[in-house]
């Protein structure tokens, strides 16, 4: 629903409304006026909170995404951001992470840093990157530790096609100084991404009355009580279409190489040349590799008079670095192809053709799945996908029923559908608008949110919830955001709090929090639920106020738009 206190656009979270929420004018201006004059600051704010910038974050938020910053800074609003050079001081969070890195892993890094000419000892470093559970940490974690040990950090910048890159980095005219200013002050890109993201997140909630939050909370509880096994969470629409919210995850070479046949080392040895497959050849020990190809080219053509001197020099330098076994050089494909073109321009040489074929011998990742169903269940996708999938299923049902009805009343119907946007010939628009409204009303007649929640519980194996009695979310009061241990600033952690109250200090965080809440309730002479009331469905959503009066949701023009 529109936010009536200020003018708003079709997509909430823009301009006046965003400035009002979180006092964004102050935060944005405080950051921007350090390097922009007053007029440019106002212009930058208008661009940053334009409809074009706000559209993607709003739509992705409504369909379940929490990563608004990706829309603002990620390539084409969905990819990764650009990153700066590692020149910025470690953040407080990085400093805390630094303390968690095992000493043996730190020692490996220090020894390498004293001789950076040699290749980084990845395998040795990874073998010492052990987490609290005694197991090797995931790839993203050891890579993060490697970066932190370098003592500097990178910051995300606006990638091409991102919301803020389009708004602030593309000049609007010859006199536009805003793009160049942000290039020269790249740290401000990092700061403003956070400011705009927080503002949009808040304003989306205000504009929609936190409607998606109301939908998402009970659906997440359903997911939490399910193991995710097939058929997952199930519901059936009125036309008989059965929807299963079921997610499985695959893995590629980024996780493990076992049973991955499409890599150079997996090649059937009798099918490749001996010089390529031998464990050692001409003093080189890395078999079935691009480096071995370079050594072979040097062996065959290093002294060939047909090869120009500059290509010979580049090849000699490359092989010298390969044989030194220090820092691994990047394989120069173009150099090898240029040499082959010089010595065999008409592709007549068997030796040159043999090398050309091996240049395409790459490492390909196949998507594989765990043998046991429980191991391949994607719990994260299962939970995050239920809310948007439910919304999509209702949109699709509305579209199907509208098309069926119009097909019966309009001969040779021409219908243009995209998700929840419909179009037809001008002469049929009045009929389409009538049918779309009728089917929208019919879709929810006698089927409110509680109806669908109970239906999912009944239809989904292993899910048992009573929404009248079971809380959607436990209220941990002031203890929810407190760490188990004391903070660096000396703020007491949960263990210290328990100790001060004479309570046991063992157990997980949830156990410590529960003890403290019980203690507080006893001191107040009440129950935990009365002192810290949990979030119930009835407190989140009042069924008595549910209405199917479309005029209260939106005018017909907006609905059909």
CATH number for the domain spanning 224: value is 3.30.70
**Annotated catalytic residue within 94, 278, 420, 529:** 420
Same domain for 179 and 304, yes or no, is: no
Q: How far apart are CA 400 and CA 417, in angstroms?
A: 10
Task: Write down the residue that tokens 């009002």 correspond to.
Answer: 20
Q: How far apart are CA 47 and CA 42, in angstroms?
A: 9
Q: How far apart are CA 536 and CA 486, in angstroms?
A: 32
User: How many C-alpha atoms does 144 have within 13 Å on its Cβ side?
Assistant: 16
22 conformational bin, left if phi > 0, alpha if psi -120 to 50, beta if neither: left
Kindly state whether residue 347 falls inside one of the protein's structural domains: yes
Distance of CA 378 to the CA centre of its chain: 15
Which alpha helices (DSSP H) does 493-542 contain, by range? 494-500, 509-524, 528-531, 537-540
Kindly state whether residue 464 falls inside one of the protein's structural domains: no
Same domain for 419 and 381, yes or no, is: yes
Q: How far apart are CA 365 and CA 264, in angstroms?
A: 12
Question: How far is residue 19 from each of residues 189, 202, 270, 475, measured CA to CA in Å?
Answer: 18, 11, 69, 31
Same domain for 98 and 48, yes or no, is: no
Kindly state whether residue 9 falls inside one of the protein's structural domains: no
Residues 21 and 200 sit within 8 Å (Cβ to Cβ): no
Domain count, the chain: 5
Instruction: Count CB-CB contacts under 10 A for residue 390.
Output: 22
Give the closest residue to 381 by CA, choosing from 242, 149, 223: 223
Same domain for 351 and 268, yes or no, is: yes
Hey, what are 219's tokens?
Answer: 């659906």
Residues 135 and 127 sit within 8 Å (Cβ to Cβ): no
Note the maximum CA span of the chain.
Answer: 96
Q: How far apart are CA 174 and CA 366, in angstroms?
A: 49
pLDDT per residue as tens, the chain (561 positions): 333 333 333 333 333 333 344 445 555 666 666 778 888 888 998 999 898 898 888 887 766 677 899 999 999 888 899 999 889 999 888 888 898 899 999 999 999 998 887 888 998 999 999 988 888 998 889 999 999 999 988 899 999 999 999 999 999 888 899 999 999 999 999 999 999 998 888 888 888 777 778 888 899 999 999 999 999 999 999 999 999 999 999 876 555 555 555 666 566 667 889 999 898 999 998 888 889 999 999 999 999 999 999 999 999 999 998 988 777 788 899 999 999 999 999 999 999 999 998 888 766 667 778 889 999 999 999 998 998 899 899 999 999 999 999 999 998 999 998 877 899 999 999 999 999 999 998 988 888 889 999 999 999 999 999 999 999 989 999 999 899 988 877 889 999 999 999 999 999 999 999 999 999 999 999 999 999 999 998 888 776 666 655 555 544 444 443
Same domain for 348 and 273, yes or no, is: yes
Same domain for 165 and 149, yes or no, is: no
Same domain for 75 and 174, yes or no, is: yes
Same domain for 61 and 161, yes or no, is: yes
Q: Which domain holds residue 204?
A: 15-84+156-209
Kindly state whether residue 561 falls inside one of the protein's structural domains: no
Q: Which stretches of 200-348 are assigned E, i.e. beta strand?
A: 233-236, 242-245
Kindly state whether residue 558 falls inside one of the protein's structural domains: no
Residues 340 and 300 sit within 8 Å (Cβ to Cβ): no
Beta-bridge partner residues of 152? 89
Same domain for 316 and 422, yes or no, is: no
Kindly state whether residue 452 falls inside one of the protein's structural domains: yes
Kindly state whether residue 556 falls inside one of the protein's structural domains: no
Q: How far apart are CA 340 and CA 297, in angstroms?
A: 8
Same domain for 145 and 167, yes or no, is: no
Kindly state whether residue 514 falls inside one of the protein's structural domains: yes
- State how beta strands 233-236 and 242-245 pair: antiparallel
Q: Is 448 part of the annotated catalytic residue set? A: no
Same domain for 341 and 225, yes or no, is: no
Return the SS3 of 349: coil
Residues 299 and 310 sit within 8 Å (Cβ to Cβ): no
Same domain for 275 and 342, yes or no, is: yes
What are 295-308's pLDDT values in tens digits? 999 999 999 999 99
pTM, entire model: 0.66
């Amino acid at each position: 629903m529109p936010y009536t206190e200020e003018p708003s656009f079709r997509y909430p979270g823009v301009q006046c409304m965003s400035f009002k929420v979180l006092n964004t004018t102050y935060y944005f201006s405080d950051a921007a006026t350090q390097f922009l004059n007053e007029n440019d600051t106002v212009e930058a704010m208008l661009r940053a909170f334009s409809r074009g910038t706000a559209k993607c974050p709003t739509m992705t938020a409504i369909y379940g995404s929490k990563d608004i910053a990706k829309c603002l800074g990620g390539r084409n609003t969905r990819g990764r951001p650009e990153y700066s050079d590692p020149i910025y001081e470690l953040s407080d969070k990085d400093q805390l992470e630094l303390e968690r890195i095992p000493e043996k892993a730190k020692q490996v890094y220090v020894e390498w840093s004293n001789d950076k000419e040699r290749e980084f000892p990845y395998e040795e470093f990874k073998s010492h990157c052990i987490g609290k559970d005694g197991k090797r940490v995931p790839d993203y974690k050891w890579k993060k530790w490697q970066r932190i040990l370098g003592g500097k950090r990178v910051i995300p910048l606006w990638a091409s096609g991102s919301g803020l890159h389009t708004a602030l980095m593309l000049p609007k005219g010859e006199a536009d100084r805003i793009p160049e200013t942000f290039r020269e002050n790249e740290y401000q890109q990092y700061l403003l991404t956070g400011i705009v993201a927080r503002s949009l997140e808040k304003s989306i909630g205000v504009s929609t009355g936190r409607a998606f939050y109301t939908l998402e909370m009970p659906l997440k509880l359903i997911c939490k009580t399910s193991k995710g096994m097939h058929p997952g969470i199930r519901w059936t629409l009125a036309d008989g279409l059965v929807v299963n919210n079921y997610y499985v995850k695959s893995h590629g070479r980024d996780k493990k190489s076992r049973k991955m046949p499409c890599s150079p080392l997996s090649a059937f040895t009798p099918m490749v040349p001996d010089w390529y497959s031998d464990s050692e050849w001409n003093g080189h020990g890395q078999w079935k590799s691009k480096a071995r190809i370079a050594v072979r080219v040097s062996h065959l053509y290093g002294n060939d008079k047909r090869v120009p001197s500059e290509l010979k020099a580049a090849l000699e330098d490359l092989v010298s670095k390969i044989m030194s076994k220090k820092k691994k050089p990047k394989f120069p494909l173009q150099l090898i192809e240029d040499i082959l073109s010089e010595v065999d321009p008409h592709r007549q040489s068997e030796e040159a053709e043999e090398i050309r074929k091996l240049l395409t011998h790459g490492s390909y990742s196949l998507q594989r799945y765990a043998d046991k169903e429980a191991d391949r269940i994607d719990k994260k996708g299962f939970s995050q996908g239920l809310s948007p999938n439910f919304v999509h299923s209702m949109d699709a049902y509305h579209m199907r029923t509208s098309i069926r009805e119009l097909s019966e009343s309009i001969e040779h119907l021409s219908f243009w559908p995209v998700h929840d946007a419909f179009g037809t010939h001008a002469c049929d628009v009045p009929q389409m608008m009538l049918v779309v409204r009728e089917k929208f009303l019919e879709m929810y007649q006698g089927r409110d949110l509680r109806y669908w929640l109970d239906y999912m519980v009944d239809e989904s194996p292993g899910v048992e919830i009573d929404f009248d009695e079971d809380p959607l979310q436990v209220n941990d009061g002031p203890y929810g955001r407190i760490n188990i241990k004391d903070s660096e600033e000396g703020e007491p952690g949960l263990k210290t709090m328990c100790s001060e109250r004479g309570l046991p200090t063992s157990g997980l965080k949830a156990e410590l929090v529960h003890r403290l809440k019980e203690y507080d309730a006893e001191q107040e002479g009440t129950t935990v639920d009365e002192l810290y009331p949990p979030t119930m469905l009835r407190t989140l959503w009042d069924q008595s106020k549910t209405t199917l009066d479309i005029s209260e949701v939106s005018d017909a023009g907006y609905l059909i738009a």
